[in-house]
Amino acid sequence: MASQANLEKMQVRQSYRNLWHTDLMSSIKADCPFYYLYLSYSAPCVSYMLRKRALYNDMSRYACCAGYMPCSGKCGESRCPEFCLCTEVFCCFGNSVASTRFLLQDEFNIQTTQCDNCIIGFMFCLQQAACIFSCIAMIVGSQELQEASQILNFLADFVYCSVCACMQTQHKVEMDKRDGKFGPQPVMAVPQVQQMSRFDQPVPAMAAYPPQPAYWQQPPPPAGYHGYPPAPQGTAAGYPPPSAGYPK
């Protein structure tokens, strides 16, 4: 039942329409000091800080892995949430980062862009390839394969640390936006309720035209105004003479 509920959440998450304030590629530029703080400080400590901030510093709302794992709610979080969160970020660091991400996405209906999916997918594929290559090198026993597997493992760890740092910076920037650190966000005004008009209702003054006098109440034309030029003698009034090129 829990796996089915998580699957349904993943399907619902695909219909989200909001976007992150910054994507993974631009997260370093968006908050460069925090990114280098992440690299020079302890990554689990940063994950602890961001999860607590995502919960609005209310640890009574904490659940292991934010409720997205089968162990959620079964680790005694209600008795000692701080200790459980410390255990989560140190023992299951990858899950702690992903859980904070899912928590923010579900709260603000944020989708993951295709570029972010490609970066995260490349990180996972590189880790799997490094693991498979290490197993093959261990079975074959070749020194060259062993050295190549170590290089691939180092590359996978480097990509993993870089992507996790970008993800954590992305989460921090999003919570800065949520907490108003970028200034007040524009709020769209709610439109007024529209009602259908009826024939028995008077027309509003702003929608009506000013009353026009009847044709018999029109003011007389100014003196000397005849509307047409005077007709020549011997022709009907208002029509041109026959010599004007019209057929007789």
**What average pLDDT does range 82-102 have in this prediction?**
91
Q: Is residue 51 very low, low, confident or very high in pLDDT (cuts 50, 70, 90)?
A: very high
Residue 200 CA: distances (Å) to CA of 174, 183, 194, 196: 53, 49, 17, 12
% of the chain beyond a pLDDT of 90: 14
Nearest to 178 by CA among 54, 15, 60: 54
Q: How many helices and strands, by DSSP H and E, does the chain display? A: 8, 0
- Is the pLDDT at 110 greater than 80, yes or no? yes
**What average pLDDT does range 69-83 have in this prediction?**
83
- What is the four-CA torsion angle of 86, 87, 91, 94, rounded to 10 degrees? -50
Domain limits, the chain: 2-178
The angle formed by the CA atoms of residues 162, 100 and 132, to the nearest 5 degrees, is: 50
Q: What does the pLDDT look like over 160-208, one tens digit per residue? A: 888 888 888 899 999 998 888 765 554 444 444 434 444 444 444 444 4
**What average pLDDT does range 12-29 have in this prediction?**
83
More confident residue, 90 or 203: 90
**CB atoms closer than 10 angstroms to residue 43:** 18
